[in-house]
């Protein structure tokens, strides 16, 4: 049995919010671009393993507890910021792959990666440490992620996304 809100199944409640709320319309608004869809899916695929390391301990990661311990201990972040880092990388990547709330996820990714650059990579310069001869990694990868997220913030999820389906039903 489907969940019910106000006598209507949840899917109808979401469609009603999108239809009647201008902010919700803007969030889910997108275009029919296949290029935007490719950009979104690729960004989601690139972020997912990093989020899975932090959330599940996959791919050699420390899992949720280990990552929270590092972020709140060694990195000195407040617990809510540590939680958001994990949530944005894990759930945000899944949402990107599915194309759900892409603009909201893009804002989260932009904020997250701007913070990563500022706190951990700015002092190392622009370039990645390809040859291991620098004191740390530069921020070029993170800047590229921000650029991809800005493109998604501007254009939306593109074709083949839940945002597109929700928009069409509207």
Contact 64, 54 (CB under 8 A): yes
| Number of compact structural domains in the chain | 1
The Cα 21–Cα 30 span in angstroms is: 16
Look up the domain containing 121 and give its range.
29-169
Q: To the nearest whole percent, how much of the chain has pLDDT over 90?
A: 65
Residue 123 lies in a domain: yes
CB contact at 8 A, 108 and 77: no
Alpha helices in the chain (DSSP H): 10-20, 22-28, 34-56, 63-72, 79-98, 102-116, 140-155, 162-169
Q: What is the mean pLDDT of residues 3-23?
A: 62
Is 23 inside a domain boundary? no
Plot region of 61 (φ>0 → left; ψ -120 to 50 → alpha; else → beta): beta
In a domain, 134, yes or no: yes
Would you say residue 11 lies in a domain? no
pLDDT above 70 covers a percentage of the chain that reads 86
Q: Mind listing the pLDDT tens digit for each residue in 113-154?
A: 999 999 889 888 889 888 888 788 989 999 999 999 999 999
Look at residue 86 in the predicted model and tell me its pLDDT: 97
């Amino acid at each position: 049995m489907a969940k019910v809100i106000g006598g209507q199944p949840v899917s109808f409640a979401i469609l009603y919010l999108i239809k009647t709320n201008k902010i919700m319309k803007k969030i889910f608004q997108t275009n029919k671009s296949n290029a935007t869809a490719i950009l979104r899916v690729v960004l989601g695929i690139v972020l997912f393993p990093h989020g899975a390391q932090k959330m599940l301990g996959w791919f050699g990661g420390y899992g949720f507890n280990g990552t929270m311990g590092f972020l709140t201990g060694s990195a000195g972040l407040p617990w809510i910021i540590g939680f958001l880092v994990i949530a944005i990388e894990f759930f945000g990547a899944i949402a990107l792959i599915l194309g759900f709330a892409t603009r909201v996820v893009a804002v989260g990714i932009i904020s997250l990666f701007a913070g990563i650059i500022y706190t951990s990579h700015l002092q190392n310069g622009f370039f990645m440490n390809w040859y291991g001869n620098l004191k740390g990694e530069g921020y070029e990868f993170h800047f590229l992620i921000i650029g991809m997220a800005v493109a998604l913030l501007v254009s939306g999820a593109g074709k083949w996304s839940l945002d597109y389906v929700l928009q069409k039903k509207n």
